[in-house]
Amino acid sequence: MAKKNKKKTENKTVRSVNKNVRSSTRKLNPILRSIVGKNVDKVIRDLTFSDKRISKDIKKTISSAVANAENNFQYDIDNLFVKEAYCGKQIVMKRFRPRAKGRASPIMKPYSNLTIILAEKQKEKVEKR
């Protein structure tokens, strides 16, 4: 059996997951695509002034990830940026609305899982020649 070389790598990422977000993935994806790669303070500012209803839940998840980074890992908040942001399907609540002539039409109320991964920017080393 080959022995695995367990070399400790500096993985400076923090993850925050928000389950059962009351929105569809179709409405979440454009917002999540717009925040990837930005600094955390700019993302929170953008989400504060967004007119989308779901932006409050996304902002809460990012704030939770920032608190995790600060308290659990002692990362510098000024160097944090959104490395990944994605969502997945959760349950769909099914309801029915009465319609004309004794019929009924379905109402689908989808839920989503929201995952935000933050990373800390590394200082670049400048080579002297």
Q: Is the pLDDT of residue 74 over 90?
A: no
In one-letter notation, the amino acid at residue 16 is S
Q: pLDDT of 29-61, one tens digit each?
A: 999 999 999 999 999 999 999 999 999 999 999
Would you list the domain boundaries of the chain?
14-120
CB 101 within 8 A of CB 46: no
Question: 50-76: string of b/e by CB count within 10 Å (b at 16+)?
Answer: eeeebbebbbebbeebbeebeeeeebe
pTM of the model: 0.80
What is the structure's pLDDT at 7?
45
CATH topology of domain 14-120: Ribosomal Protein L22; Chain A (3.90.470)
Find, among 5, 2, 12, 6, the residue nearest to 68 by Cα. 12
The one-character DSSP state at 63 is H
Q: Is the pLDDT of residue 26 over 60?
A: yes
Q: What is the mean pLDDT of residues 69-81?
A: 89
